Amino acid sequence: MEKKTYQNAQGDLSNLQTPDIEVWENQYKDRDYTVSFELAEFTCVCPKTGLPDFATLYLNYVPEKWCIELKSFKMYILFYRDIGIFHEHFVNKILDDIVKACSPRSASLKAIVNTRGGILTTVESIYPYK
Which listed residue (12, 44, 46, 96) is catalytic? 46
Which of 12, 30, 53, 102 does the annotation list as catalytic? Answer: 53
Active site residue 44: no
d(CA 124, CA 43): 17
The rounded distance, in Å, linking the Cα atoms of 77 and 81 is: 8
Q: Give the long-range contacts of residues 87-90, CB within 8 A, separation 24 or more.
A: 87/53, 87/55, 87/111, 87/113, 87/121, 87/123, 88/123, 89/10, 89/13, 90/44
The residues that are catalytic are 46, 53
